[in-house]
A and B are shown apart, each in its own frame.
Chain A
Amino acid sequence: MNLDWMVFKRVLRSGAKNFVRGGAVSAATVLIMTVTLAIIGTLVFLSALLSFTLNTIKEKVDVSVYFVTTAHESDILAVKDKLETLPQVASVSYTSADVALATFRERHATDELTLQALDELGGNPLDASLAIRATDPEQYESIVNFLEATPALSAEGASIIDRINYAQNKDVIDRLALAIRATREVGLFIVLIFALASVLIAFATIRLAIYSSRDEIAVMRLVGASNAYIQGPFIVAGIITGVVAGGLVLLLFWPASWYAGAKTVSWLGGFNLASYYLSHLPLLFAILMGSGIVLGALASMLAARKYLKV
């Protein structure tokens, strides 16, 4: 135990010294790693922006159920309660006929002709309605199927549902669902490609840095050092590289997101990069530091191992 601790301390110290004495090579490795992590960080922002946009679009879609004018409010609310128990339903909002009329009048306040026509009709020609929002656009069909399979009936036994505007919206909803799914998949694919490319570049850089130490590794073997004792300091130096690069990226992202956020907030439909950075700092920290440490350690371990077969 004591011996292990001594070895651990030596490996840490030696790794830190190697990193500091590495000079230009260490600096270059940190630089490349910083670029790699910056790409990974940007991808985090991009995927957040993508989900934000998709959610905004999703929220604009709903299906409305219109009830016959004779339907009792209690019957409509019973339908609402039933709908809310469905797992695929995110929310249901009730608009009574009176509220619908008031909204209609307000919207057409400057349109004399329409208001006049409405007055001439007498009474309230508008239906009460339920606006249903699904957790996922692909779920609308099953919600509509549910409504059709379990018809809401009045006390007299007649259906109180006048119409559901799903049929005319179906095409748009289907296309949107497809677009969202495709964007997700393509987005994920692009993110993975970029992440992979940057990881490979970081790997190659670290390998190159360790390549210059291959003679040194051979000498360490011949002097009687164990493989773990030789690899250890390289891994420590790799981890330091990752941590320094991760810290640099976090530092750089703060002014960058603040500047870019102020410029793009209206253009991105209300998505503010700076507030995303602040509210997701722990996540960004974990992703950047985690990737930096894993990348640095793994690349160093694999690269050093190549020269250990002496």
Chain B
Amino acid sequence: MIYFDKVTKNYNGNGAAVEDVTLSIAPKEFVSIVGHSGAGKTTLLKLLLAEERPTEGNVFYESIDLNDLPLSALHHYRRKIGMVFQDFRLIPNKTAYENIAFAMEAAGRTDEEIRTDVPYILELVNLSDKAMHFPSQLSGGEQQRIGIGRAIINQPEIIVADEPTGMLDPINTYDVVEILKKINELGTTIIITTHNKGVVDAIGRRVVTMDRGKIVRDDNQGQYAL
């Protein structure tokens, strides 16, 4: 489904953020990418989202070579991916409801679909009562649940989560991990980066370990090993 073929990424000659990475991810997998800060985890995700282009090598999504995607066609590709960010990145002047609805609007879904799907997702992330709150009126955990709601609303084939629990306390972290596991059980591929040992161990699935831009371990039933 996803295939990194000998991918290297250099930022302005400051050494390689990702170096000669070859990695394949199958549908319905739940992959945790772990490593210290600066190990290249986030760069790997940015390459997958085509937010960055590789200096060398190719990234494939199914049969699409992301190098060949023009800027004008990127949004079509990104609708297949639900993105969850460490800092939530909700749109500040939109309510919780509108933030989730925005992803549907952007994908060209009808008003009726939005009216039925958004309340359902709000219920799923347990925030129906805060639908009309702006991000500044929500706690970190609540914002991240809205962020996950936004990521899953279009039923994407993959969810990519960059340190989704990085700014959350243990209870909220547990909630987020449980929600992600549930989404994975429903058939969505999930790729998360984290350096939280508890999260990796709680998930108990494939773990890819990175160090200084390279993949140093790839365990099918992994544990946090750094």
**Complex CA distance for A223 and B151, rounded to whole angstroms:** 8
> Which residues of A have CB within 8 Å of B110?
6
Closest-CB distance, A25 to chain B (whole angstroms): 10
| Contacts between the two chains (Cβ within 8 Å), count | 56
Contact A223 B106 (CB under 8 A): yes
Q: When A and B form their complex, which 9 residue pairs have the shortest distance between CB atoms, in order from nearest? A: A225-B106, A224-B79, A224-B78, A21-B93, A219-B89, A226-B75, A223-B103, A224-B75, A216-B91
Inter-subunit contact A224/B106 (CB<8 Å): yes
- The residue from A17, A229, A309 contacting B106, defined by CB atoms under 8 A apart: A229
Are A223's CB and B71's CB within 8 A? no
Contact indicator B78/A222 (Cβ below 8 Å): yes
Indicate if the CB atoms of B102 and A220 lie closer than 8 Å: yes
Closest residue of chain A to B105 (Cβ to Cβ) is: A10
A309 to B90, CA, bound (A): 19
Instruction: Select which of B76, B102, B108, B111 is within 8 A of A223 by beta carbon.
Output: B102
Contact code string B98-115 (vs A, CB < 8 Å = 1, else 0): 000011011110110000
Smallest CB gap from A21: residue in B: B93
CB-CB under 8 A from A226, the residues of chain B are 75, 106
CA distance A215 to B93 in the complex (A): 12
Q: List residues of A (1-58) whose CB comes within 8 Å of B's CBs.
A: 3, 6-7, 10, 17-18, 21-22
- Closest residue on chain A to residue B73 by CB atoms: A226
Q: Which residues of chain B (25-69) have a CB below 8 Å from chain A?
A: 49, 51
Q: Using Cβ atoms and an 8 Å threshold, which residues of chain A touch B75?
A: 221, 224-227
Binary A-proximity of B80-101 (CB < 8 A = 1, otherwise 0): 0101010001111110000000
Given the complex, which residues of A lie within 8 Å of B81, measured CB to CB? Answer: 224
**Which of chain B's residues have a CB closer than 8 A to the CB of A309?**
71
Q: How distant is the Cα of A309 from the Cα of B81 in the complex, in angstroms? A: 19
Give Cα distance in the complex from A3 to B111, angstroms: 11
CA distance A137 to B3 in the complex (A): 81
A135 to chain B, nearest CB (A): 55
Q: What are 22 A-B pairs with beta-carbon distances under 8 A? A: A3-B108, A6-B110, A10-B105, A17-B94, A21-B93, A215-B89, A219-B85, A219-B89, A220-B106, A222-B78, A223-B78, A223-B103, A223-B106, A223-B150, A224-B76, A224-B79, A224-B106, A224-B154, A225-B75, A225-B105, A229-B106, A310-B51
Which residues of the other chain, B, contact A227 by a CB distance below 8 angstroms? 72, 75
The smallest beta-carbon distance between A11 and chain B, in angstroms, is 9
Name B78's closest neighbour in chain A (CB-CB). Answer: A224
Q: Which residues of chain A have C-beta atoms less than 8 A from B102's C-beta?
A: 220, 223, 225
Task: Give min CB distance, B138 to chain A, whole Å.
Answer: 16
Cα-based distance from A4 to B40 in the complex (angstroms): 41
Chain B residues in 8 Å Cβ range of A229: 105-106
B74 within 8 A of A: yes
Distance in Å: Cβ of A279 to nearest Cβ of chain B = 43
Chain B nearest Cβ from A234, distance in angstroms:
12
Min CB–CB distance B155 → chain A (angstroms): 13
Give which listed residue, B85, B93, B111, contacts A22 with CB less than 8 A. Answer: B93
